[in-house]
């Protein structure tokens, strides 16, 4: 994989000139946010891992998600090479299916899950439960029962009430390794709704008000619970190393207080994930190699100053592994000009990608499958749903002759799309197609009306 496709901090590059004709081949900057295997074809199409995207749309229909297996695997290896002494857990909430679980295990990563559903899917696929960590700010009794039944590696405690519930579920003579999710009081993340390291949100236990310290003391008093470390997660879509270094210092400070107050040296420190990717050319992404080097250095230095043994580091990338490996495909259904605005409506929308409506995420759709000599024009790509907020991409450049039947491809679409998809307007969720070595195969089939109606039991 070339440097342009690694999860690295990429300096801003000049935007592709709007004066370029739409039939110009994609520039290096344009393709920097596509999988490394992406190649140009003579008919205006793009191929990923040797498979033309137009052929995928013809074979499987649209909307559809395409996942480049080689890109997923290479990004797993990038993390393993950057963090050779750490435990790398893939954050399943970004995207999970049976094939994905297999790829992650095959590449030597563990798994971070947030529900009994994610846990059951992974374990029934053959993923070792001891390499799985269960998260959740409000775990249900079923979540905890499933985790204990399947023998999950660690459970991350997120609230005081969870301590007694988990201890009771473990029972006399039982044993479960746990961590405590700590709020370090650090603001980081691409949007206020995905910042989770501050005291004003629902996750974790605060250092500032003493809840984290109180929870640690209570856990240490439970014979069935083995406290193995501390956990924090600062947020999502973070592109700077600086917040993680601040988190290391604060978490090591708490590790030192645990040793001083309880005589216990905790062996693990989980810094979560949230490593950002580029959704459009010129955007920054997290430089994983720099992150690993600087975090390791800060951890060693902080532990030395505190007189602590360096704990084993745990990290939880999700988006940074699968996000750049995914492409969403849509067909244009309608083009409407209203006043100064041109709306290009496609056959998907917020039911298969709610992120623009939730977080204001901006994508870079591209016309594929035909050449156009028309000058680019500013358009807004919208979905088919009955919501004014059903917008996939605002004020982007597409050929001025874009019309119904055209095929649009959206890169960097692998994370938090299918996993957040809904049944709004009873539009079935799209399929997932994997591409590898010139072949395409169906991983998850399209949700049909029969699937939807099959859940109803009576009039």
What pLDDT was estimated at residue 193? 43
Q: Are the beta carbons of 330 and 56 closer than 8 angstroms?
A: no
Catalytic residues: 386
Q: At 139, list the tokens.
A: 């775990």
216-251: string of b/e by CB count within 10 Å (b at 16+)? bebbbebebbebbbbbbbbbbbbbebebbbbbbbbb
Residue 160: partners with Cβ closer than 8 Å, 6 or more residues away: 205, 211, 214, 215, 218
pTM above the 0.85 mark? yes
Tell me the three state secondary structure of residue 451: helix
The domains of the chain, with CATH numbers, are: 3-68+323-453 (2.40.37.10), 69-320 (3.20.20.10)
Classify residue 99 as exposed, middle or buried by CB count within 10 Å of its CB (0-12, 13-18, 19+): middle
Q: Distance between CA 215 and CA 24 in Å, rounded?
A: 60
What pLDDT was estimated at residue 187? 58
Q: Are the beta carbons of 415 and 318 closer than 8 angstroms?
A: yes
What pLDDT was estimated at residue 27? 60
∠ Cα 258 300 80 (to 5°): 105
Sheet holding 51-52, edge to edge: 39-40, 46-48, 51-52
pLDDT tens for the 459 residues of the chain, in order: 333 333 333 333 333 333 333 344 556 668 899 999 999 998 899 999 999 999 999 999 999 999 999 999 999 999 999 999 999 999 999 999 999 999 999 999 999 999 999 999 999 999 999 999 999 989 999 999 999 999 999 999 999 999 999 999 999 999 999 999 999 877 555 445 444 444 565 667 988 888 899 999 999 999 999 999 999 999 889 999 999 999 999 999 999 999 999 999 999 999 999 999 999 999 999 999 999 999 999 999 999 999 999 999 999 999 999 999 999 999 999 999 988 899 999 999 999 999 998 888 889 999 999 999 999 999 999 999 999 899 999 999 999 999 999 999 999 999 999 899 999 999 999 999 999 999 999 999 999 999 999 999 988
On the question of a cis peptide bond just before residue 331, with omega within 30 degrees of 0, the verdict is no
Using only C-alpha atoms, the chain has a radius of gyration, in whole angstroms, of 23
335-to-82, 344, 383 alpha-carbon distances in Å: 46, 5, 12
H/E segment holding residue 133: strand 132-134
Q: Are the beta carbons of 127 and 96 closer than 8 angstroms?
A: no
Q: With the C-alpha atoms ordered 137, 111, 237, 85, is the resulting torsion angle positive or negative? A: positive
């Amino acid at each position: 994989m070339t440097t342009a496709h690694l999860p690295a901090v990429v300096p801003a590059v000049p935007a592709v000139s709007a004066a370029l004709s739409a039939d110009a081949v994609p520039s290096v900057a344009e393709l920097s946010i596509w999988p490394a295997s992406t190649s140009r074809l003579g008919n205006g199409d793009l191929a990923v891992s040797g498979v033309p995207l137009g052929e995928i749309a013809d074979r499987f229909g649209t909307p559809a998600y395409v996942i480049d297996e080689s890109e997923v695997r290479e990004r797993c290896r990038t993390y393993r090479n950057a963090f050779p002494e750490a435990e790398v857990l893939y954050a399943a909430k970004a995207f999970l299916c049976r094939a994905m679980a297999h790829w992650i295990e095959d590449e030597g990563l563990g798994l971070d899950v947030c529900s009994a559903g994610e846990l059951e899917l992974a374990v029934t696929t053959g993923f070792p439960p001891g390499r799985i960590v269960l998260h959740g700010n409000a775990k249900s009794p079923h979540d905890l029962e499933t985790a204990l039944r399947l023998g999950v590696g660690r459970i991350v405690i997120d609230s005081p009430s969870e301590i007694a519930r988990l201890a009771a579920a473990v029972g006399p003579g039982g044993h479960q390794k746990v961590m405590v999710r700590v709020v370090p009081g650090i603001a980081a993340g691409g949007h206020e709704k995905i910042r989770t390291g501050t005291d004003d949100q629902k996750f974790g236990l605060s250092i500032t008000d003493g809840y984290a310290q109180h929870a640690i003391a209570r856990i240490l008093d439970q014979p069935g619970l083995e406290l193995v470390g501390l956990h924090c997660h600062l947020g999502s879509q973070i592109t700077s190393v600086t917040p993680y270094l601040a988190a290391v210092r604060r978490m090591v400070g708490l590790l030192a207080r645990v040793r001083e107050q309880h005589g216990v040296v905790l062996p693990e420190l989980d810094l979560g994930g949230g490593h950002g990717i580029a959704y459009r050319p010129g955007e920054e992404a997290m430089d994983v190699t720099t992150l690993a080097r600087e975090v390791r250095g800060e951890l060693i230095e902080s532990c030395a100053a505190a007189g602590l043994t360096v704990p084993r580091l745990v990290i939880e990338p999700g988006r940074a592994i699968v996000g750049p490996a995914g492409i969403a495909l849509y067909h244009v259904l309608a083009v409407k000009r209203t006043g100064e605005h041109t709306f290009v409506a496609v056959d998907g929308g917020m039911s298969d990608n709610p992120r623009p409506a939730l977080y204001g995420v901006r994508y870079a759709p591209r016309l594929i499958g035909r050449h156009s000599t028309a000058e680019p024009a500013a358009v807004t790509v919208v979905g088919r749903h009955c919501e004014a907020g059903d917008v996939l991409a605002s004020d982007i450049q597409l050929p001025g002759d874009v019309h119904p039947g055209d095929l649009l491809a959206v890169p960097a679409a692998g994370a938090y799309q299918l996993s957040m998809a809904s049944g709004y307007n009873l539009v079935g969720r799209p399929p997932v197609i994997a591409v590898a070595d010139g072949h395409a195969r169906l991983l998850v089939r399209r949700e049909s009306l029969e699937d939807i109606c099959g859940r109803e039991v009576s009039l």
